[in-house]
Structure 1
Amino acid sequence: MIYSRLTVLKKIPANELLALRRNTSVMISTTKHRFYLSLFFFMSGLSFSTWASRIPTIKAAFDFNEAELGSILLALPIGSLLGLPLSGWLVSKYNSRVPLTVGYGLNAFSLAFIGFAHNTFTLVVAVVLFAFTTRIFNISVNTQALTLQKQFEKKIVGSFHGYWSIGGIAGILLSTLLLGLDVSIHVHFAVVAVVMLVVTLYSYQFLLKGDRAETGNKLILSKPDPYIFYLGMVVFLCAICEGGMFDWSGIYFQEIIKVEIFTYGYLIFMTFMATSRFLSDLIVARFGMAKTYIMSALCIIFGIGLAVVFPLFWPAMIGFSLVGFGTAAIIPMSYALAGASKKYSAGMAISIIATYSITGMLLGPPLIGYLAHAFNLRVSFVIFALCGVLLIPITQMFFKHQKLSDKTD
């Protein structure tokens, strides 16, 4: 068998054999890039869910009411806004793996900082730093994902975001376990931070190199580009839903559903978000992006309606699962469409779209907190259903504009 294979190889011309070896090397390299980039998405989800799943712990430790907690959560999008111009500049100035690695390493430090915060001031500083570094990392890792997508015929962007959700599930499960064991928040966050640092230092060597775009790296100050504007509004509405569910699902199950293990709601939300993201590429291929946006919006509307109208354990679990399934595909689809912008490079387009996302994060969680304090938490969750309703006409306007611009070109 070995002899026959060697005989076949001898019959291949030297130049073709060299090309075959190069192609095999590229294939292995691309596979490694995808694996370690997926690992970063996974760890990012783990980091964020570690923070979000412990928000009820922080609320109880500092004795915050809903409005006060809403104000603390306001620090998250403010930190993201501060990191936005720097992240866009770094990705346009350097290869994205540099800000990706540095941003994620600092993100680990800031997560541990949150766990050791003992007063409101240090907590706010830690949360701002956490959001700031998350923003730098997110712009970089999504730039890497869009660059790697060009080396694959099938769509893979949705799967990356799926690994983020899987990381989120892992973080929630770990939090649930440690809560049951009565492990303190500072030990919990410190352990996760150490794991993040180890992964970052080892995985840096396997990230894409030389992905800086030569054109489209400057922000053009002019009338808003309709292509980017519509996508931005879609991401804005989705960010209100995602941010609100991340930060308030645990509180909802603790105070409205009245369950002792308050991570159930967040866990089911993230589980179905992960499922949807792994299926999103297949769903988009089968139905197209326009119909997938509509199906996503309907899942959000009916899911929130079920959880609000029937504030019981199983209706809420089913409702939160529908919301997770609905929100999951929206941002990956929007980022993929943004990467096809004719006006901006992929990194700059994502950075602009991220501005809308951060604004949604800015308004969503604090708005839920203030409405919950003024009325009640059930009423405040209706905001998510309203966002789902608005998603339908805005996505339709985007695809109409896309068709018109294609005809013009």
Structure 2
Amino acid sequence: MISNTKHRFFLSLFFFMSGLSFSTWASRIPTIKTTFGFNEAELGSILLALPIGSLLGLPISGWLVSKYNSRGPLTLGYGLNMLALTLIGFAHNTLSLVLAVVVFAFTTRIFNISVNTQALTLQKRFDKKIMGSFHGYWSMGGIAGILLSTLLLSFNVPIQIHFTAVAIVMLSLSLYAYQYLLKGDRSETGNKLILSKPDPYIFYLGLVVFLCAICEGGMFDWSGIYFQEIIKVEIFTYGYLIFMTFMATSRFLSDFIVARFGMPKTYIMSASCIVSGICLAIIFPYFWTAMVGFSLVGFGTAAVIPMSYALAGASKKYSAGMAISIIATYSITGMLLGPPLIGYLAHAFNLRVSFVIFALCGILLIPITQLFFKHQRLSDQSVKPLS
């Protein structure tokens, strides 16, 4: 009998590995841009492959976790993801690069839906909140990936060796950790998508995740470029590193913050950090002000996705896996629009102007989250029995 504590440890390991693999790719985007000689608009078009691949993987991932236990799709998806990461490193032309990125995003979607389904199932076995810590380990993995990239960049290690080494180590860990994942977590109800008028509960959460995805996806893909071209530092991973460091810190603190202040206030604080951080980095494009600005954005975006997934798991209409799959559609759409939009705006104007998009998304988070909690209160009141 595997204890819940051991389940939690190895599930946290998968979140960590997920963050590391994604940051390994994202931290080398400037390398890819330089190698292929892309301008901002061309890079934006290449980055479209990421959300397109995720969209292709979405219906399959939702079907897999609703038909089977999630640990199989989780481990298989992660293994194939490591293969795709290796192929990105060895891409020799634009077509092979795009195909590799599509497969990378496709497999990322499968194990992301699966790992979050596991997390929501395990959360029900604990009295205290643990969702934020899972996503905190994702950010810790992201930090580890960036630190490794920074180290290897300083030694001029080729991207092919970098990506292959990461893939081999992570694949070995995932195969070992498989045995400690939850079994029998398939829900018997709420596994079918109901085509009808959008459920306001899911719709509002979807909009929140959409806005956050634009910020997160844009920061993942463009923070290195911002420090390379606007801040003009040779080691361009500094911005991405500080962003991920404060995202990790915030996620480990998010369960405490939510318990202390409640989700409505936490959403407002998150939005305020995003807006103030981006404005600081745009208005004062210098190394230390940009570092402080990016840290605020990381702290602000961190809690939004875990809170929204936790709320989605409480849906009365859908199972946890299906609710997350639907919410992920909005997230992928944000990823689809965000990074390419930044690239096109940067090409038309400049990179500093394009980052205003993140501030606008942060501002919009406040009224939409308030609408969600108003709807939640009204729904709760309508189902209370008359005394």
Deviation, structure 1 residue 250: 0.2
**Amino acid paired to 1:89:** W
Corresponding residue number in structure 1 for 2:158: 184
1: distance between equivalents of 2:26 and 2:324? 24
Corresponding residue number in structure 2 for 1:295: 269
Deviation, structure 1 residue 257: 0.3
**Amino acid paired to 2:69:** N
The alignment partner of 1:165 has SS state of helix
Deviation, structure 1 residue 310: 0.2
Q: Is 1:266 the counterpart of 2:237 in the alignment?
A: no
Deviation, structure 1 residue 92: 0.1
Corresponding residue number in structure 2 for 1:131: 105
Alignment partner for residue 29 of structure 2, among 50, 55, 64? 55
Q: Deviation per CA, 1:379-399: give whole Å up to 9, x if none.
A: 000000000000000000000
Count of aligned pairs between the two proteins = 383
Corresponding residue number in structure 2 for 1:19: none
2: distance between equivalents of 1:112 and 1:231? 34
Q: Deviation per CA, 1:165-211: give whole Å up to 9, x if none.
A: 00000000000000001100000000000011101111110000000
**Amino acid paired to 1:282:** F
2: distance between equivalents of 1:198 and 1:76? 25
Corresponding residue number in structure 1 for 2:258: 284
Deviation, structure 1 residue 91: 0.2
Corresponding residue number in structure 1 for 2:372: 398
Superposition map of 1:156-305 within 5 A: 156-305=130-279
Deviation, structure 1 residue 337: 0.0
Corresponding residue number in structure 1 for 2:299: 325
The alignment partner of 2:3 has SS state of helix
Q: Deviation per CA, 1:203-250: give whole Å up to 9, x if none.
A: 110000000000000000000000000000000000000000000000
1: distance between equivalents of 2:320 and 2:169? 30
2: distance between equivalents of 1:311 and 1:233? 30
Corresponding residue number in structure 2 for 1:33: 7
Corresponding residue number in structure 1 for 2:324: 350
1: distance between equivalents of 2:115 and 2:34? 34
Corresponding residue number in structure 2 for 1:116: 90
Deviation, structure 1 residue 36: 0.3
Corresponding residue number in structure 2 for 1:102: 76
Deviation, structure 1 residue 69: 0.1
1: distance between equivalents of 2:366 and 2:61? 31
The alignment partner of 1:257 has SS state of coil
**Amino acid paired to 1:98:** G
Runs of 4+ aligned structure 1 residues displaced above 2 Å come to none
Corresponding residue number in structure 1 for 2:344: 370
Corresponding residue number in structure 1 for 2:67: 93
The alignment partner of 2:126 has SS state of coil
The alignment partner of 2:369 has SS state of helix
The alignment partner of 1:259 has SS state of coil
**Amino acid paired to 2:177:** S
1: distance between equivalents of 2:75 and 2:25? 20
1: distance between equivalents of 2:215 and 2:103? 23
**Amino acid paired to 2:147:** L
The alignment partner of 1:155 has SS state of coil
1: distance between equivalents of 2:182 and 2:193? 24
Alignment root-mean-square deviation, CA = 0.5
Structure 1 gaps, min length 5: 1-24
Superposition map of 1:76-91 within 5 A: 76-91=50-65
1: distance between equivalents of 2:296 and 2:6? 34
Corresponding residue number in structure 1 for 2:362: 388
**Amino acid paired to 2:179:** Q
The alignment partner of 1:90 has SS state of helix
Bigger radius of gyration: 1
Q: Is 1:154 the counterpart of 2:117 in the alignment?
A: no
TM-score, normalised via structure 1 length: 0.93
Corresponding residue number in structure 2 for 1:315: 289
**Amino acid paired to 2:23:** S
1: distance between equivalents of 2:370 and 2:39? 40
